Chain A
């Protein structure tokens, strides 16, 4: 008996040591991971002049929020933030809508080309977007010219939203179909027996059950689309229509760039996604594990 207690105490101590070791290990990694962000915050609080006069690694002479004040002033943040919203909100909603429609059809109904359809949508994801830039650019111009207005898609919010929907819908389909496979078939069968048509089956039966998946995906997609810069840069020739990422480019000069100001701007631009993450962090984590058990 006593031997058992001693053994278990030894075991407990062992476990404690292990835990301590793991904590230190995790702590180190957490620090390494967060260090660039901390350094950005630190940089953003220092005046430019301080850094170029005494070096990046020097002890700070001045710490203040002037960079933030100047960044807000120079970034014209209102315009760009509005643009980001104009692009992000419809893009996310349309992506989820179309993605769930496709996922619904390929998982709930049996067709010969089911798997191929799913593969097609997923394979599109593997293509680096830069490869498709020139074709998309010419296609946008061509469509615009055919309809008599060159700026129908190119240099227009509608075009940018369309591109985002097009490129994100594959991933949305993939995730949503994995999730949908976990919904019991019997639900669909009883819906059909009760006389629900296809749309009713989708809208009143499946969609409500998709809520957790939709919420998780919408958080992920908002972050991605909000942070996206490439398409906005190449498909919008008017800077006044570009999203928040373009506001940051305003802070960079042709030769001289004030990196302290830029750091402050970067933190301002990143804050909406960070806030979104903290508000919806449960969905975010759910999103990371979504479909990991099936599909």
Chain B
């Protein structure tokens, strides 16, 4: 009985039910009302910011406001979590998508473009005369020759290390250029009891950066892209050659590579516990946050040359851009907004609001860059072929589910390489053709 006293009275429950029921009906009617009035008007443009927290919102607001000031069209923006947006992309695009949004070049735009979910923005890219031909080429779907993304920013994958640590082992940090230099650097680092080549592959994608660049250095850009798209075989002697180089790196890695993410590697470098780390250059701000001295110590170079025939002509530099939903309420408005994001005014507005990305456009002004920023540009400039990273250069159902685990099992047991590669090839062949 004493429990009964604590129990909600029936009246409250019933009252609640009535209010709740009414609320549900009203809520439905209300949001349905706003939804139709906002979306059916067609004049406004809806924009999705892919992650970035408050800075992301600020940048989007600056660019969209500049667009509104120029054209008089209102832009309604929202921010979504980058991973959630990416993982549910097909459904979002088939539901009631926002008109324009930040997206990624490569398979992820080509595939959804072919499927009719993204609008063709070839005309907008043509109008943006300051886009370099290479970037436009990179944003073109090789199958139907259309472009489904307006290229805006990219970042390099390179070999990161601390200049002070390389000096300490008696090498010149500016001159890590050949495979032998890297081996020497790693050997000396290991002698000091440190991790020579930081690797964290818990999620399975991180090691693709190392694989991409090794394959491009050993066999060249064309072979790499052919391999990722089924035009070359994983069991080919050339592919095996790449894995011979990969196997040489494994003894220099931290043994717990299956337990840490990429940021575990970053922490190793930040805490001066590792020599080199192959990674995308997106974490420099963490060094700055620790101290200016740490930031000044950080350096990045292109991955060293292995095969003279290919030199250092290729780099992993994932290209991002703006895409337009084919089933949005205002496709033409979306295209206009997307084009504005790629224009000089758009870029300047974004940078003015704190955007630290590197833009592909010739209108992009990098004169204010510090030494590390300039070095990143130099690394990007060193290559003439741009890869987008294995998970964008290849099919989505191959890179993550097949290649990632294959690289993990290879690093765990490099002697098994032949079996792993046969398995990978068999899995590629078992994929549905589309």
Contacts and interface: CB of A to CB of B under 8 A. Distances in A.
Interface of A: 48-49, 52-55, 73-74, 86, 89-90, 92-94, 96-97, 137, 141, 149-152, 154-158, 161, 207-208, 211-212, 214-215, 218, 233-234, 237-241, 246, 249-257, 280, 282-283, 286
B431 interface: no
B97 to A, nearest CB: 7
A252 B83 contact: yes
The 10 closest A-B pairs by CB, nearest first: A158-B28, A249-B81, A93-B20, A90-B20, A254-B82, A151-B35, A90-B24, A215-B7, A254-B51, A93-B17
Residue among B13, B17, B83 with max Cβ neighbours from chain A (10 Å): B13
A136 B121 CA distance: 32
Given A89-B16, A154-B95, A211-B8, A250 B283 contact: no
A283 B7 CA distance: 7
Contact of A255 (B95, B98, B283): B283
A94 B24 contact: yes
Contacts, number: 151
Contacts of B98: 237
Nearest to A215: B7
Given A52-B266, A256-B285, 18 more contacts: A48-B289, A52-B290, A55-B267, A89-B20, A90-B20, A93-B17, A94-B21, A97-B21, A151-B32, A154-B96, A158-B27, A158-B31, A214-B13, A218-B13, A237-B92, A246-B81, A250-B79, A253-B52
Contacts of B282: 255-256
18 contacts: A53-B270, A74-B54, A89-B20, A93-B21, A137-B91, A151-B35, A154-B96, A158-B24, A212-B4, A215-B6, A238-B78, A250-B79, A251-B53, A252-B82, A253-B82, A255-B283, A256-B285, A282-B3
Interface residues of B, number: 54
B51 A151 contact: no
Contacts of A215: 6-8
A250 B54 CA distance: 9
A214 B28 CA distance: 26
A74 B20 CA distance: 30
B23 A89 contact: yes
Contacts of B3: 212, 282, 286
Nearest to A159: B28
B292 interface: no
Interface in B24-40: 24, 27-28, 31-32, 35-36, 39
Given A90-B27, A150-B96, A250-B79, A234 B88 contact: yes
B429 interface: no
A35 to B, nearest CB: 19
Residue among B50, B79, B84, B262 with max Cβ neighbours from chain A (10 Å): B84
A288 to B, nearest CB: 14
Contacts of B27: 86, 90, 157-158, 161
Contacts of B82: 252-254
B80 interface: yes
A186 B50 CA distance: 62
B174 interface: no
B20 A214 contact: no
B52 to A, nearest CB: 7
Nearest to A56: B267
Nearest to B93: A237
Interface of A is mostly: helix
Nearest to B23: A90
A246 B85 CA distance: 12
Contacts of A286: 3
B21 A207 contact: no
B6 A282 contact: yes
A214 B81 contact: no
Contacts of B39: 151
A61 B82 CA distance: 32
A211 B7 contact: yes
B238 to A, nearest CB: 32
Residue among B8, B24, B51 with max Cβ neighbours from chain A (10 Å): B24
A157 B26 CA distance: 10
B241 interface: no
B175 interface: no
B422 interface: no
B226 interface: no
Nearest to B27: A157
Interface in B88-112: 88, 91-92, 94-98
B31 A157 contact: yes
A52 B16 contact: no
Contacts of A154: 95-96
Contacts of B192: none
A131 B323 CA distance: 30
A255 B280 CA distance: 10
B372 to A, nearest CB: 16
Nearest to B263: A256
Contact of B95 (A96, A237, A253): A237
A149 B267 contact: no
B267 A52 contact: yes
Contacts of A155: 35, 95-96
Nearest to A285: B3
A96 B16 CA distance: 11
B286 A256 contact: yes
A242 B36 CA distance: 19
B367 interface: no
A157 B286 contact: no
Contacts of B4: 211-212
Nearest to B6: A282
B6 to A, nearest CB: 5
B10 interface: yes
Contact of A239 (B80, B96, B271): B80
Contacts of A282: 3, 6
Nearest to A97: B17
Contact of A49 (B32, B266, B290): B290
Contacts of B290: 49, 52-53
A255 B56 CA distance: 13
A149 B35 contact: yes
A249 B286 CA distance: 20
Nearest to B28: A158
Given A158-B27, A253-B52, A255-B280, A237 B8 contact: no
B8 A156 contact: no
